[in-house]
Structure 1
Amino acid sequence: MKKYYTIGETAKLLGVTTQTLRHYEKIDILQPSYVDMETGYRYYEFNQFHCIDRIKYLQHLGLPLSEIRNIMKKGTVDGLLPALENEWQTAYHELEQIQSRIKDIEWYINYFTYLSQMEPSTALYRTQQDTRHVIYVPCYEQDELADMEIRLAAARSLKQLHALSYRRQYGYELSVPDLFQSIFKPKTYFIYLKQRPDFYTPYYKELPAGEYLCFRTKLLREQWDTKVLQTFFSSTRPVTVIGLEFEGNLVEYMDAEYEIQMLLPPE
């Protein structure tokens, strides 16, 4: 085994470039074992190969070269472990963010395909819902749709609420008597939260869990058939009625399909 390897030989054996080895030298993370003063040729010894390999895998783990240089100069595992533990924390946080993003994407895919998964001829159907968390604002008799939108946007822009994680599921709590007369009359306007806030705010409420009787309609057009509702609820009326918007296109909202959810009493 020869004592010295040229910079080219070293680069080829270790799977790096000569530019990388020159950069290591420049930032004083690894110096050549020998430099020919006449030719400027740089040479490395075999016992330096493991240092180059270590630099490579520490970079692969995410450590910057400046930190690797300090670790290499200390030359102890005790100097390496805190850096690895910190990098683990960073990588785990990034993983959590990626997993959260994947869940959000899956949620939106389901949102935009939800109604298409059902038979449009089904007049009434049942769904089971978990507790849902929303930020809401009240709606008033004289409100236009824009008034409700602006009121909710103003609430969401509050410093305390702006930092919350939302999902684009808008909806209304509806007046039950008006629903049975085919009249769109909202009591509140809301948007979904990904999770319950960890602080008190008067804008927060829960939509109750349970079994809901549902139908689809263009809510804002007030065109649903009330005869089926009158027949099903011949002796009682639902206490909670929710209208959830499902966007059919990204421009026109007046013709958006809504799922009307009417909470059924426990059997």
Structure 2
Amino acid sequence: MHDSHTTYYSIGEVAKKKHVTIKALRYYHKVGILVPEHIDPENGYRYYTPHQLLHVDIIKVARFCQASIKELQLLFSTGDTKELYGYLTSKKQELTEQMQQLQDVSDVLDSLKDYAEESERAKVLNKLEQQEYEDRLLVVSPIDPKLGLEDFAEHDDLEAIIESLNVLPTYRTGYILTDLHTSHVFHVIRTKHRMPKDERIHRLPAGSYLTISYRYGQKQEAIRSIQAYADKEGIEVTVMYEFELLSELFEPGGFIHQIQVRLSGPK
């Protein structure tokens, strides 16, 4: 080697240190984006300097960010640090946007999973059950008597409230019954930060809830079952939460309803 004071790494050592394949390093040499500092003229072995290990990192990051070989050829042909900085900055911005998109998808997956789980738990109809739930947050809005209860979507002020609060909506919606009268419409939300006190946000504490699921038209019978149980157990029920759920996700008209009444805190 032409400089005895320089440390060199064989292609195998570079592959091991940087977790890339020897085949990839040979390809990068072939296309001109990572030319070995020294090639032994007798056996053709490739040798790289410590400085070139940084080049491998740049290539790996750029390729992960979907950079083309042509982009990298242009970048390495100029050897301009300022241009490299600009390029890496733009890739960082792209990656940040992709991460946010992935987080948005993850949030939707969580909401769908929770909705499917709660719907599955509610499939037993016309039977009183005690079920445990974690803390839930509801965005609520008073019922507009002019709209009635026929179409939940008509109560679109909830959407505006959710947007103004910068929280994540879920697929779980329903109504609050106060003293047997439907008083509010609600939407279960998710949030990553502590919510300030707000009259539009209700908290359903974790704990045991008395539940009964039923199909459309069976609401009064379900309420009577709840009341009979409450009278027997000496429980005063002033607030009920009526959830709209799915009994079968892929069947038309698969919606069911479930009333929940809080009994106690966590066990």
Q: Which category of TM-score, normalised to the shorter sequence, fits these structures?
A: 0.5 to 0.7
Residues 82 and 47 of structure 1: is their aligned pair in 2 closer, same or farther, counting only changes over 3 Å?
farther
Q: How far apart are the structure 2 equivalents of 1:92 and 1:12?
A: 27
Residues 15 and 260 of structure 1: is their aligned pair in 2 closer, same or farther, counting only changes over 3 Å?
same
Q: Deviations over 1:217-254 (max 9, x none)?
A: 1256535245533332113322331111113457966x
Under a length normalisation based on structure 2, what TM-score does the superposition of the two structures give? 0.59
Does residue 169 of structure 1 match 2:181? no
Identity over aligned pairs, percent: 13
The counterpart of 2:184, out of the listed 185, 188, 196, is: 188
Verify the 8 A CA contact 2:214 2:222 in the aligned structure 1. no
Secondary structure at the counterpart of residue 224 of structure 1: helix
Question: What's the CA shift for 1:215?
Answer: 0.8
Q: How far apart are the structure 2 equivalents of 1:85 and 1:162?
A: 32
1:36 counterpart residue number? none
Q: How far apart are the structure 2 equivalents of 1:116 and 1:264?
A: 21
Residues 240 and 226 of structure 1: is their aligned pair in 2 closer, same or farther, counting only changes over 3 Å?
closer
1:261 counterpart residue number? 260
Residue 166 of structure 1 aligns with an amino acid whose one-letter code is P
Listed as ranges, the gaps of 5+ residues in structure 1 are 1-10, 32-45, 179-184
Residues 72 and 191 of structure 1: is their aligned pair in 2 closer, same or farther, counting only changes over 3 Å?
farther
Residues 115 and 121 of structure 1: is their aligned pair in 2 closer, same or farther, counting only changes over 3 Å?
same
Verify the 8 A CA contact 1:174 1:241 in the aligned structure 2. yes
Secondary structure at the counterpart of residue 232 of structure 1: helix
Residues 159 and 148 of structure 1: is their aligned pair in 2 closer, same or farther, counting only changes over 3 Å?
closer
The counterpart of 1:214, out of the listed 188, 199, 211, is: 211
Question: What's the CA shift for 1:102?
Answer: 3.4
Does residue 102 of structure 1 match 2:106? yes
Question: What's the CA shift for 1:118?
Answer: 5.8
Q: Deviations over 1:16-68 (max 9, x none)?
A: 698xx4xx7xxxx899xxxxxxxxxxxxxx789x79x8474343242856688
Residue 188 of structure 1 aligns with an amino acid whose one-letter code is H
Secondary structure at the counterpart of residue 172 of structure 1: strand
- Count how many residue pairs are aligned between Structure 1 and Structure 2: 229
Secondary structure at the counterpart of residue 225 of structure 2: helix
Q: How far apart are the structure 2 equivalents of 1:187 and 1:159?
A: 19
Secondary structure at the counterpart of residue 235 of structure 2: coil
Under a length normalisation based on structure 1, what TM-score does the superposition of the two structures give? 0.59
The counterpart of 1:131, out of the listed 135, 148, 163, is: 135
Q: How far apart are the structure 1 equivalents of 2:260 and 2:225?
A: 14
Q: How does 1:37-56 map to 2 (within 5 A)?
A: 54=56, 56=59
Q: Deviations over 1:108-148 (max 9, x none)?
A: 14423534356726711122223322222101445422575
Residues 186 and 250 of structure 1: is their aligned pair in 2 closer, same or farther, counting only changes over 3 Å?
farther
Secondary structure at the counterpart of residue 114 of structure 1: helix
Residues 90 and 133 of structure 1: is their aligned pair in 2 closer, same or farther, counting only changes over 3 Å?
farther
1:62 counterpart residue number? 65
The counterpart of 1:233, out of the listed 217, 221, 230, is: 230
Q: Deviations over 1:172-207 (max 9, x none)?
A: 11133x3xxxxxx42111112211777769673123
